[in-house]
Structure 1
Amino acid sequence: MNAADFEALAPHPPLLHGIEPTIRVGFILSPQFTLLPFAAFIDSLRHAADESDYSRQIYCTWKILAERLDEPIRASCGSLILPEQELKEFGDLNFIVVVGGLLPACLNLSEAHRSFIRHAYDSGITVVGLCTGSFILADLGLLDGRRCAVHHEHQAAFRKLFPKVEVVSDEMYISDRGVLTCLGGTSALDLAFHLIDSHCGKARAVKGLTSLLIERQRSASRFPHRAYGHLAVCGSRKVETAIEIMERHIATPYPIGVLADKVGCSERELCRLFAKYGNESPAETWRNIRLAQGHWLLLNSDRGIAQIASECGFSDAAHFSRWFKATYKETPDAFRRRRRIMMNA
């Protein structure tokens, strides 16, 4: 089989127009940066940024920034990454992610890089330090008086160098007044999904978690209020797999018979299992997962009702509104107006 044979079997990616990305990241890779935290963070964005596994930059976008585009940046493992955008204007970026690496090499950022990070912070852009990126941010004075996540192996050196920073080593990541840090390694996943959850909604965060095969117990513990999270760890492999598929296809649901086939059972058996573990049919569960994401978007975005309906897999705004009212006892328009009045009171 070649690529053309596979493309003939694969469905075409859904058309998603008019969506403004809510997470727009510029990465700064330090000299001898550690590859795992960078890869964990950027792949979390990749899976959350699109439906299924098409990897289009729709809900999230990212660029690797550097002074020169013709000089690859070498990771601590020896791999080379080619930057994509010069350190100039911020454009529409709302996050600058500084990826640390081997000490002390990673501190040898040029003055242009350091000035860019400082200016981003002063401009109100959220600054993130992955791994020993915390050393870089502290060296710039951005962590004074703040809590900061530091790996236990680097605690002593960090405290000696930066006594004005409160060191934390028993939390995966720390968010303190517009500056975020993580311990390194796979803790970059936790930090990435925290940002995705906060800015894109739980559905996008959970979609990324399931796409990356993050273990179920960790997933459930990170998102305790996730719609139907209890079914993701219910003990029935078929129900758990069905929930993962539902969460990965918010905008593109398909017939329950097709879902059952992907899970490896009959439609009748899948309905029986959902009745046993969730007291709802698979179709009801999938619809309510999509409605929960619509509810989140109404609260946290300015998207129109038609756009939200499309993103949540409903045929049109009327279809979405009908089910939303049946579930939440008011129309999406009425819900949004009421919430805005409450917030402005």
Structure 2
Amino acid sequence: MPGAPRRVVILGYADAELLDIACVSDVLDAANRLGARRPYEVRLATVDGQPFACQSGLTLTPHGRLDQLRGELDTVVVAGGIGHRAASADQRLLEHVRRLSQLSRRTASVCTGSSVLAAAGLLSGRRATTHWSYASRLAEQYPSVSVDPVPLFVRHGDVYTSAGVTSGLDLTLAFVEDDHGAALAREAARTLVTYLQRPGNQAQVSMFLSGPPPEHRQVRDLTAYVAGHLAEDLGTPVLARQVGVSARQLTRLFDAHLGTTPGKYVRTVRAEHAARLLSGSDLPLTAIARRCGFGSTETLRQAFLDHFDTPPSAYRRVHLRTTHA
């Protein structure tokens, strides 16, 4: 028998980001359909309860007004979007955010929804994150907030903040794991056709959807081996010999447990490691390419374009400017 529903409220407003709302609601819906012991009862609410246009132009109809919400809540989530500035100046909205946070087990924001939490005073003295392009502005406007532009999401006490847009999916999968265990979170991720949720401390400017180590022993051993030997030959025959299987069998294992080929996996891990070196060191591109197993800076550049849709030099400029702004 399912337990009492977990009441979840998503706060919307004009020009909110639709994905900020949908990433939260759809993850919780997937958890419900997969048999969550205490299903989530999700409600979208606004100050006036009227339909509002998201920044994409699509219109959403909320379930009701914020002042109609009473009683114990499980989670309150504030969406982001280009309308966050007006929302942060709406005193009625801020008062509701403060009130609902007191009724809730946890309070969260997606993307620039962090500015609403900050304006409501809920981030004072806390570490928080937001979309990387907005981090320096949030830090300047709210100096009492310790803004970290790097992680996908941050938990400080009972307040959670997440980075841009789809990081709301990662945050909500983490909620499901906390509430119902890792197995249900994994099934929800598979239902949504995404890899297992990315850990909160993974860098925002990353498109490699990594997750917990795979359960299959040989695949798990190889992922650890790859991470420790990036500068060496990591061709499929070499990896197959490492665990005593054929190249064909190794390809089948990677497809079954990681959803990719050994070659693509290695190239992605190398690009991820290069991203960390670009943002955390002054090493020249030639040295980074060598350490990560790329044959040349041009090979590194092509891998970066494929995985991040930006060249390594531009990644370094953007990341360092955001970090030190």
Same topology, TM > 0.5: yes
Q: Which runs of 5+ in 2 are unaligned?
A: 200-208, 224-249, 260-325
- Does residue 197 of structure 2 align to residue 211 of structure 1? no
Match runs of 1:45-64 below 5 Å:
45-51=28-34, 59-64=39-44
- Looking at structure 2, the residues matched to 78 and 121 of structure 1 have their Cα atoms a distance apart, in angstroms, of 29
Asked if the contact 1:25–1:95 (Cα under 8 Å) also holds between the matched residues in 2, the reply is yes
- Does residue 166 of structure 2 align to residue 183 of structure 1? no
Q: Secondary structure at the match of 1:191?
A: helix
Q: Secondary structure at the match of 1:142?
A: coil
Q: Secondary structure at the match of 1:49?
A: helix
Instruction: Tell me which moved more, 129-138 or 107-116.
Output: 107-116
Which of residues 133, 157, 166 is equivalent to 1:153?
133
Match runs of 1:90-239 below 5 Å:
90-102=70-82, 105-107=85-87, 110-215=90-195, 221-224=210-213, 235-236=251-252
Asked if the contact 1:49–1:61 (Cα under 8 Å) also holds between the matched residues in 2, the reply is no
- Looking at structure 2, the residues matched to 124 and 229 of structure 1 have their Cα atoms a distance apart, in angstroms, of 40
Deviation at residue 105 of structure 1 after TM alignment = 4.2
1:163 to 1:82, Cα distance in 2 relative to 1, 3 A: same
Residue in 2 that maps onto 1:28: 11
1:198 to 1:131, Cα distance in 2 relative to 1, 3 A: same
Q: Secondary structure at the match of 2:122?
A: coil
Asked if the contact 2:73–2:103 (Cα under 8 Å) also holds between the matched residues in 1, the reply is no
TM-score normalised by structure 1 residue count: 0.56
Deviation at residue 195 of structure 1 after TM alignment = 0.7
Could you report, residue by residue, the CA deviation over 1:304-332 in whole angstroms, capped at 9, with x for unpaired residues?
xxxxxxxxxxxxxxxxxxxxxxxxxxxxx
Asked if the contact 2:16–2:83 (Cα under 8 Å) also holds between the matched residues in 1, the reply is no
Could you report, residue by residue, the CA deviation over 1:181-214 in whole angstroms, capped at 9, with x for unpaired residues?
1112211111011111001111211111101111
Instruction: Tell me which moved more, 99-108 or 148-157.
Output: 99-108
Structure 1 vs Structure 2 CA RMSD: 3.2
Q: Secondary structure at the match of 1:222?
A: coil
1:92 to 1:121, Cα distance in 2 relative to 1, 3 A: closer
1:92 to 1:230, Cα distance in 2 relative to 1, 3 A: farther
Asked if the contact 2:174–2:197 (Cα under 8 Å) also holds between the matched residues in 1, the reply is no
User: Percent identity at matched positions?
Assistant: 24
Residue in 2 that maps onto 1:80: 59
Letter in 1 for 2:3: I
Letter in 2 for 1:44: V
1:111 to 1:57, Cα distance in 2 relative to 1, 3 A: farther
Asked if the contact 1:30–1:100 (Cα under 8 Å) also holds between the matched residues in 2, the reply is no
Asked if the contact 1:31–1:108 (Cα under 8 Å) also holds between the matched residues in 2, the reply is no
- Looking at structure 2, the residues matched to 61 and 137 of structure 1 have their Cα atoms a distance apart, in angstroms, of 22
Match runs of 1:237-252 below 5 Å:
240=256
1:235 to 1:185, Cα distance in 2 relative to 1, 3 A: farther
- Does residue 44 of structure 2 align to residue 41 of structure 1? no
Letter in 2 for 1:240: A
- Looking at structure 2, the residues matched to 92 and 213 of structure 1 have their Cα atoms a distance apart, in angstroms, of 33
Q: Secondary structure at the match of 2:151?
A: coil
Letter in 1 for 2:212: F
Letter in 1 for 2:4: E
- Looking at structure 1, the residues matched to 187 and 168 of structure 2 have their Cα atoms a distance apart, in angstroms, of 17
Q: Secondary structure at the match of 1:45?
A: helix
Deviation at residue 222 of structure 1 after TM alignment = 2.9
- Looking at structure 1, the residues matched to 24 and 81 of structure 2 have their Cα atoms a distance apart, in angstroms, of 15
Q: Which runs of 5+ in 1 are unaligned?
A: 1-16, 245-345
Asked if the contact 1:173–1:182 (Cα under 8 Å) also holds between the matched residues in 2, the reply is yes
Letter in 2 for 1:86: R
- Looking at structure 1, the residues matched to 154 and 197 of structure 2 have their Cα atoms a distance apart, in angstroms, of 21
Deviation at residue 47 of structure 1 after TM alignment = 0.8
Q: Secondary structure at the match of 2:187?
A: helix
